[in-house]
Amino acid sequence: MAKIEVKNVTKVFGNHPEKALKLVEEGYSKDEIMEKTGQAVGVLRASFEVEEGETFVVMGLSGSGKSTLIRCLNLLITPTEGTIVMDGEDITAMNDEQIKTMRKSKQSMVFQRFALFPHRTILDNTAFGLEIQKIDKQEREERALKTLEMVGLKGWENRYPEQLSGGMQQRVGLARALTVDPEILLMDEAFSALDPLIRREMQDELLDLQEKMNKTIVFITHDLDEALKIGDRVALMKDGVIVQIGTPEDILTNPANEYVAKFVEDVDMSKVLTAEGIMNDPEVLAFPKDGPRVALRKMREEGISSIFVVDRNRRLVGYVMAEDAAKAADRGDQDLTQIIKEDVITVKPENTLNELFEVSASAPVPLVVVNEEHKIQGIIIRGTILAGLVKQTDELIETKGENDIEKETSGDVGQNT
């Protein structure tokens, strides 16, 4: 079950939403509905799911409906139509008391403007949500101090907001939201008011915190680079409509329409495309127990000059070069253990092309993509990285052929690409 399920949510601002809804059914646009009825369509039939622990980014230009949508998720704005289900419960059917409880216990929100109380210390600001819940002072201060340390503000707890920079104040806002230990964190353009350098630092901070906390996050932004950096998946909005949902790589490589294509055309692909998206299956592998002649036969059949070695659980051990295998065969070696080289450069599936490019130059053989258990997932040759860097991976492979790319990358062996 998804943590959040948004089903056909529409929000119309005005005294006669039924007029707008009727024109919606007839296919009129947002602007046409405003002209004919004076009713403003903020969100139109939005549907999506957010998995537990996912960072789901909603992005779009000013007026696209993204901030209206996130306020529907905590019912600061009541949807005109549609349902919002959290943990299997329809929150749009809740009464006022249930909504208050839900906001206190399940959700927290971080706003674009820091919204700190100027007369309260940083510690008191951070503990405010627990104070509302009537948690005793000692416990709420202990929890607030732990959160402030988590966001890098240890030692600042007795200061006041005016004594902090904008970036530090936003850290306080984030700490205040996290102190109540919410299951769902809603962030409405949380970093938009910050200077570019501080903004990047806060993005990195959020990524680090998310790795530790694994919260369900819905993040609103108008910045495409920010969306692609932070989001596990991204929903792109235009005129109140979600026009595409997908991973950052999906949106960049398979835009749903011309609007999305124009939106992403200037993105630096090297910062978004990942190892998982360009890796090849490691079809030819050897095992330590294999004799050098077996390894040589596998390499000869595939036309390669080295082969990766894995254990029974597919965990990477190293690689063997053909010339070393030939010498071992002449010596009469019965296995590969004496000639396995371990200077393999491994990468994670989520590493970007930019990161891969930096390490590939020193790699003696193709990069190896491994998971957390060090099991081999795929391999990446230099030619594939270069193809991705020029934003033409698919076209290049189709034009030149997969085998041609491998031939161009001298020394990249171990796999037919």
Could you tell me if 86 and 219 lie in one domain? yes
pTM, two decimals, is 0.70
Could you tell me if 255 and 292 lie in one domain? no
Could you tell me if 286 and 222 lie in one domain? no
pLDDT of residue 387: 62
Could you tell me if 399 and 374 lie in one domain? yes
Residue 413 falls within a domain, yes or no? no
Last residue of a domain, one of 213, 233, 267: 267
Residue 153 falls within a domain, yes or no? no
Picking from 226, 227, 233, 222, the residue whose alpha carbon sits closest to that of residue 199 is: 226
Number of domains in the chain: 2
Residue with tokens 């790589």: 249
Could you tell me if 209 and 323 lie in one domain? no
pLDDT of residue 131: 85
Last residue of a domain, one of 226, 249, 267: 267
Residue 40 falls within a domain, yes or no? yes
Could you tell me if 247 and 364 lie in one domain? no
Judged on CB neighbours under 10 Å (0-12, 13-18, 19+), 374 is middle
Could you tell me if 365 and 399 lie in one domain? yes
Cα distance between residue 207 and residue 348, in whole Å: 16
Render the burial of 134-166: b for 16+ CB within 10 Å, e for the rest: ebeeeebbebbbebbebbebeebbeebbeebee
Residue 342 falls within a domain, yes or no? yes
**Amino acid (1-letter code) at residue 414:** G
Going across the sheet that includes 285-286, the strands are 285-286, 306-310, 316-321
pLDDT of residue 390: 57
pLDDT of residue 310: 92
Cα distance between residue 69 and residue 7, in whole Å: 12
Last residue of a domain, one of 267, 300, 328: 267
Residue 302 falls within a domain, yes or no? yes
Residue 116 falls within a domain, yes or no? no
Could you tell me if 226 and 313 lie in one domain? no
pLDDT of residue 386: 65
Residue 173 falls within a domain, yes or no? no
pLDDT of residue 153: 87
CATH code of the domain containing 239: 3.40.50.300
Could you tell me if 254 and 370 lie in one domain? no
Residues of the chain falling short of pLDDT 50: 391-417
Residue 164 falls within a domain, yes or no? no
Residue with tokens 């919002």: 84
Range of the domain at 352: 276-408
| Cβ atoms within 10 Å of 244's Cβ, excluding its own | 19
Could you tell me if 193 and 243 lie in one domain? yes
pLDDT of residue 129: 86
Sorted by sequence, the CB contacts under 8 Å of residue 250 that are 6+ apart come out as none
Could you tell me if 237 and 317 lie in one domain? no
Could you tell me if 10 and 93 lie in one domain? yes
Strands 216-221 and 233-238: unpaired
CATH code of the domain containing 284: 3.10.580.10
pLDDT of residue 27: 84
Render the burial of 310-325: b for 16+ CB within 10 Å, e for the rest: beeeeebbbbbbbebb
